[in-house]
Structure 1
Amino acid sequence: MKIAKSICGILIILSVVVACTTAKSQYEKGNYYDSVMRSVEKLRKSPNNKNARETLANAYPQAVNAFMDKLENQDHANVDFQYTKAAGTYRKLNSMYESIQRSPGAQQVISNPKKYYKTLDRIKPLAADEQFEAGLYQLSMGNRENAKQAYYYFLEADKFVPGYRNVGEKIDESYHRSILHVVANLKPVQSRFYEVSADLFYKQVENTLKQIENNEFIRFYSPEEAANNNVQNPDQILEVNFEDFVVGETHTKETIEKMERDSVVIGEITLDSGRKKEVVGTVNAEVALYRMEVISRGLVNLSITKNGMNDKDIVYQDLPGEFVWFHEWGQFNGDQRALSDEQVVICQNKRITPAPPQQLFVEFTKPIQSQLHNKLISFYKNY
């Protein structure tokens, strides 16, 4: 127990020493704000820490002066989003004030930290106006990417001043114009020869589309959903179609081989002395091995068409898949010892019926589903 307490004490001391060193290193690099915040945090845990107190005493006035110089330079330079940037600076100044107020040890070092809440309150409407006007400009450009930028500007305006002007309406408008509407037509399997279902395959495709929809600006609709939601002119048409497939193409291969192995004990004799001796000789066998292969393969076509006057294909790709079910069995005449270990195992097998068509269909679609998933994720990641 005493050892455990000693270790805990050492760890606490080490953490304080490392933190103070980090705060001092930030100060030496000119990162005065980070130095202040780290020093205050250490003083909250260790109020009398000498290094933290010294670092804070030096870093705080430097941080305030650096922020004031930054504000003055931005004012003279008339930079873009001047009030937005100023609001960010005043927030950091207030963060230093709040951190010091929460630390008795830091208050002993900086007894009168500066606060800028009133100044920040005066600036917020100006920053909101900057963001709102930038949003209006982007929205006026008319295309989807500009609408996305407008959406973010309007959100920022609303953060500065909730309900600023008609920002709620503009957020809704820009968001609606930012969405990529895609109708996903997952075509059912058509076959005169097989009764198979692609339900599991398309369930995985739907999961992929839901994953892509984690991007808040992309929405997929089935043709029925598009009709119900009045999506009459989608941005894209996505189609997945089984172009061609075969299930259960069977091939059986027979291999007959004569096997021979020497130096095998084939008997025993008794010598004149009465001692028994093993007789070593050669053993033979003829083995017939059979391998049945049931091949299932198919081709799925993915097309993504940009909906518009020319209905241009932006993706058109065939995705192949194949699965080979196999089974081996055999029989032999002669001495089993002439066979290899593998041949013995195969000869112990009995001929069995191949997997049913639905299972074979599912298996050959697995590599296709993987390709399709990767293709869709890659294609839509930049939207």
Structure 2
Amino acid sequence: MTRSIIFFLVSGLLFAASCTSGKKALQQGNYDEAVYKAVKRLRSNNTHKKSQETLGQTYPLARQWHLNRIKNLEISYERFKWEPIAREYALLNTLYDEISRCPGCLSAVASPVNYTMEYESAKLKAAADRYEAGLLALDKGKSGDRNEAKIAFNHFMEANNWLRAYKDVTEKLKEAEYYASINVIVEPIPMQSQALKLSNEFFDNKINEFLLQAPVNRFVKFYTVKEAKRLGITKPHHVIQLAFDDFVVGQTYMHEKEMALIKDSILLATYEVEVPQTSTQNAASTSSKESKVTICHTVPGSDKAQTLEIAESALKAHLEHGDKMGSCNSSSPQPGSGGGTKKDVRKVYGQAKATMHVFTRTVESKGLLDFRILDGFTKRVISQEKLPGAFVWQSQWGYYNGDQRALEKQHHQIIKNKEVPPPAPQDLFMEFTQPIYQQLTAKIRQFYTNY
């Protein structure tokens, strides 16, 4: 672990420290925390006596605590013991840096101790330990133990982290990665239909882009057939084979539906009638006389219309069947006029009826991709799965006969729609392979992530 990383960890402690003198942390045995709190207070007030007293007591204790840990590690048989030793020296140097950059702190600790030489020496020994361990693991990796080659790579990485470009560690990293890696060739999908050749190439290219540009695992190298041939890879460790067991593109279904639409309590018409202006006594005697209204009646089974005068009680039935108020030569009723009469406004409520014809065209495209991973040497199937995909395109339109007031919002939308042609076969192919692509890339990632 480098000095910058140690400083980052210590900075977190400094940020979390409060503005106290650190006395409480000292009493609890948290020596480093007590030092950082005292330093923080003295930076804001370089004459703060309690902080000076705390720092003067705590720094020697913190320093001795780390030195004791180093001594115990040095006489231990712990593997890679120089790594924790180096971290201890890094923490001691951080204490030194914090006190040295604080004028008020130097009144409490006149001579903080710098352990840079010891830290560098420990780093060198830590890198040497990792390098030697990497060499031992690499020898086993060269004999065919891929896991040991991976272990060797990790040891060389640690050695390089402790001491950049230690010996020939850069070359050893490449060598370990070579023996730890497997080569995987991805064969193109066979496609019999020439009409869908371009779509299939697009699907192939998306898979290759995923495998080549977004590495699933550092130790798994994917190649197309062309790339493998160019690089001279004749015996890959694995071969990925992809093939459509079956697929259908553009299977079309047409459906027509007729619906009777009825909506109640619709205002069918508003009209006026002339009624006599009589006294209450006379009104009772004339109430039995039903008013007449004029309508334009459509003769059933023909386009002919005729003007009729009917009783008010029959008006609702006529309006529900499509007749209109008024004469056929006028859009409104022609009320009579005369002395001793008044106009009475009346409303007719009833059912609005219509017949809706809805056409639905459905185009289905679906397929099943066979996904296999083969051993490149024995041709044995290591893994095999069937990945389904489907895409349904739909278009809907229609018309109606009858009273528009019987239609709901969704019916109006269907009427506005126009009959449109389905997408081209290549577009349908790419649509139904989208879910297959998602499944395939997830399966490959799952299989090879920790391989």
> By the TM > 0.5 criterion, same fold?
yes
- The answer to whether structure 1 residue 169 and structure 2 residue 171 are counterparts is yes
| DSSP-derived class of the 2:187 partner | strand
- The answer to whether structure 1 residue 277 and structure 2 residue 346 are counterparts is yes
Letter in 1 for 2:426: Q
How far is 1:327 from its partner? 0.9
Structure 2 equivalent of residue 370 of structure 1: 438
> What is the rounded CA distance, in whole Å, between the counterparts of 1:71 and 1:145 in structure 2?
33
State the Cα RMSD in Å.
3.1
- Larger mean CA deviation between 143-152 and 49-58 belongs to 49-58
Does structure 2 conserve the Cα–Cα contact (< 8 Å) formed by 1:212 and 1:380? no
Q: How does 1:120-269 map to 2 (within 5 A)?
A: 120-142=119-141, 143-160=145-162, 164-187=166-189, 189-191=191-193, 194=196, 196-210=198-212, 212-213=214-215, 215-269=217-271
Q: Deviations over 1:17-67 (max 9, x none)?
A: 963359677656644345545654565566456665555444422322222
Letter in 1 for 2:397: W
Query: What is the TM-score with the length of structure 1 in the denominator?
Result: 0.83
| DSSP-derived class of the 1:275 partner | strand
How far is 1:92 from its partner? 2.3
> What is the rounded CA distance, in whole Å, between the counterparts of 2:189 and 2:216 in structure 1?
24
Q: How does 1:70-149 map to 2 (within 5 A)?
A: 70-142=69-141, 143-149=145-151
- Larger mean CA deviation between 359-368 and 70-79 belongs to 70-79
Letter in 2 for 1:280: Y
Q: Percent identity?
A: 33
> What is the rounded CA distance, in whole Å, between the counterparts of 1:145 and 1:45 in structure 2?
54
Assess, with a 3 A threshold, how the Cα gap between structure 1 residues 161 and 194 changes in structure 2: closer, same or farther.
closer
> What is the rounded CA distance, in whole Å, between the counterparts of 2:407 and 2:353 in structure 1?
8
Assess, with a 3 A threshold, how the Cα gap between structure 1 residues 288 and 169 changes in structure 2: closer, same or farther.
closer
Assess, with a 3 A threshold, how the Cα gap between structure 1 residues 132 and 187 changes in structure 2: closer, same or farther.
same
- The answer to whether structure 1 residue 302 and structure 2 residue 304 are counterparts is no
Identify which of 303, 313, 322 aligns with 2:381. Answer: 313
| DSSP-derived class of the 2:74 partner | helix
> What is the rounded CA distance, in whole Å, between the counterparts of 2:40 and 2:201 in structure 1?
57
Does structure 2 conserve the Cα–Cα contact (< 8 Å) formed by 1:336 and 1:344? no
> What is the rounded CA distance, in whole Å, between the counterparts of 2:27 and 2:232 in structure 1?
62
Structure 2 equivalent of residue 4 of structure 1: none
Does structure 1 conserve the Cα–Cα contact (< 8 Å) formed by 2:216 and 2:445? no
> What is the rounded CA distance, in whole Å, between the counterparts of 2:15 and 2:226 in structure 1?
63
How far is 1:338 from its partner? 2.0
The structure that has the greater radius of gyration is 2
Higher share in helix: 1
Structure 1 equivalent of residue 291 of structure 2: none
Q: Deviations over 1:157-193 (max 9, x none)?
A: 3455555554443233112222232222232543266
> What is the rounded CA distance, in whole Å, between the counterparts of 1:118 and 1:158 in structure 2?
19
| DSSP-derived class of the 1:113 partner | coil
Gaps of 5+ in 1: 1-14
Letter in 2 for 1:376: I
Assess, with a 3 A threshold, how the Cα gap between structure 1 residues 255 and 214 changes in structure 2: closer, same or farther.
closer
Q: How many residues of Structure 1 are paired with residues of Structure 2 in the alignment?
A: 368
Letter in 1 for 2:432: F
> What is the rounded CA distance, in whole Å, between the counterparts of 2:350 and 2:34 in structure 1?
88
Structure 2 equivalent of residue 352 of structure 1: 420
Does structure 2 conserve the Cα–Cα contact (< 8 Å) formed by 1:246 and 1:297? yes
How far is 1:251 from its partner? 0.6
> What is the rounded CA distance, in whole Å, between the counterparts of 2:415 and 2:21 in structure 1?
72
- Larger mean CA deviation between 190-199 and 256-265 belongs to 190-199
How far is 1:194 from its partner? 4.4
Gaps of 5+ in 2: 1-13, 276-341
Does structure 1 conserve the Cα–Cα contact (< 8 Å) formed by 2:393 and 2:422? yes
